[in-house]
Structure 1
Amino acid sequence: MSLPLPAGEYRAYLFDCDGTIVDSMPLHYLAWQQALAEWGCEFPEDLFYAWGGRPVADIIVDLNERHGLAMPVAAVADRREELYRQFLPKLTAVPEVLEHIIGSHRRVPFAVVSGSTRDSVTASLGALGLLDKFDVLVCAGDYARAKPDPEAFLRAAELLGVAPQDCLVFEDTDMGIQAATAAGMASVRVPQPRMR
């Protein structure tokens, strides 16, 4: 199944990572379930997907509020990341997006714009041999306001030296599409693997 792109001459491609380049969402969910179980916290799958694209720390803070818990944010985040890395051998790329990465590499510059940490993004891309395809990584900690705020996408465009209106964003979440639109960028919606 190919992923049609909106018409236009784009000078840069900006990609979300999890669920867009890498089919990592089911693995992230397993890591969340195992990490949170250690604290007696539930994270329903529909909520996990609804919150796709949000920084890990924000999710833990909101889960604490919802469940009246006091999970230590950094410790839970680190544990979730440790568990996710154990699943990396099972990681695969999203085929429709990989096709565009391979076909357009070196023709236009690429950036990753992710709500995940730089360590998580580099581990995922490295596991698939794709890390060297990207000129810029904008990850959690590189911006103040998460998607749906456009800040992260605007930062990536600035780092690539490309005007926002000349960027095409690949995204799998509503918040990511909203952020791209707010940044004045065209976008293409990547169907989540479980929706294909």
Structure 2
Amino acid sequence: MSVIILVTVMLPLPAGEFDAYLFDCDGTIADSMPIHFRAWQLALEEWGAEFPEELFYAWGGRTPTSVIEDLNVRQGLAMPVDVVDKRREQIFQELLPTVAAVPEVLEHIEDAYGKVPFAVVSGSSRESVTASLTTLGLLDRFEVMVCAGDYLNGKPDPECFLAAAKLLNVAPERCLVFEDTDFGMQSAAAAGMAAVRVPPPWQRHP
């Protein structure tokens, strides 16, 4: 009888020592991007809007309200932003029990917990991030949460990461960011922070 052993390769970190780890949530800590995409599809189809998967991943890291506003402009629609966002979040919460952690990132969380402080820096709502981390049993790992509504300018602007560094009382250049999106990586670079790119779902789930 053959035995299949699955080996997870730990994500390599940049050289040097860091005083804090800052994690994006969706697609970085939580393997939730496919669930979010499904929630978007179901919420938007009620208004006749389209959100292709390629565009969904290209816009990863943006706040939901800015996504809906741009879809309105692009498609000549007048979707009520708050209503659509609330519906999207409701569907996501219904699908959330199926979410799992990204193994490669979870390894770093478990390895560094208690050695350096952690923060979550997300474009999602605090409600959504809290629900995801609670489902994964990781909520107590994070000293700081910076979510949509806690800052004015979303990724790729550096504001959210700089806010997290300030709350942790750690210099930006001493922070290491874990991110899965282009906007997130650009945001970290603009904040003067080193960053680790987390592979997208289609690379982690071939």
TM-score, normalization: structure 1? 0.99
| Runs of 4+ displaced beyond 6 Å | none
* Counterpart residue type for residue 142 of structure 1: D
Give the structure 2 partner of residue 26 of structure 1.
34
Give 1:2 shift: 1.4
Give 1:195 shift: 2.3
Q: How many equivalent residue pairs?
A: 196
Residue by residue, what CA displacement relative to the aligned partner does 1:1-38 show, whole Å, maximum 9, x if unpaired?
Answer: 21000011100000000000000000000000000010
- Equivalent residue in structure 2 for 1:77, among 61, 69, 85: 85
Superposition map of 1:18-97 within 5 A: 18-97=26-105
- Partners of 2:53 and 2:201 in 1: CA distance: 14
- Partners of 2:126 and 2:154 in 1: CA distance: 14
Give 1:94 shift: 0.3
Percent of residue pairs bearing the same amino acid type: 68
Give the structure 1 partner of residue 14 of structure 2.
6
- Partners of 1:133 and 1:193 in 2: CA distance: 24
Give the structure 2 partner of residue 99 of structure 1.
107
* Counterpart residue type for residue 114 of structure 1: S
- Equivalent residue in structure 1 for 2:197, among 189, 192, 195: 189
TM-score, normalization: structure 2? 0.94
* Counterpart residue type for residue 117 of structure 1: S
- Equivalent residue in structure 1 for 2:133, among 91, 101, 125: 125
* Counterpart residue type for residue 116 of structure 1: S
Give the structure 2 partner of residue 112 of structure 1.
120
Is there any run of 5+ residues in structure 2 with no aligned partner, and where? 1-8
- Partners of 1:177 and 1:88 in 2: CA distance: 26
- Partners of 1:41 and 1:87 in 2: CA distance: 21
Give the structure 2 partner of residue 134 of structure 1.
142
- Partners of 1:44 and 1:108 in 2: CA distance: 39
**Secondary structure of the corresponding residue to residue 195 of structure 2:** strand
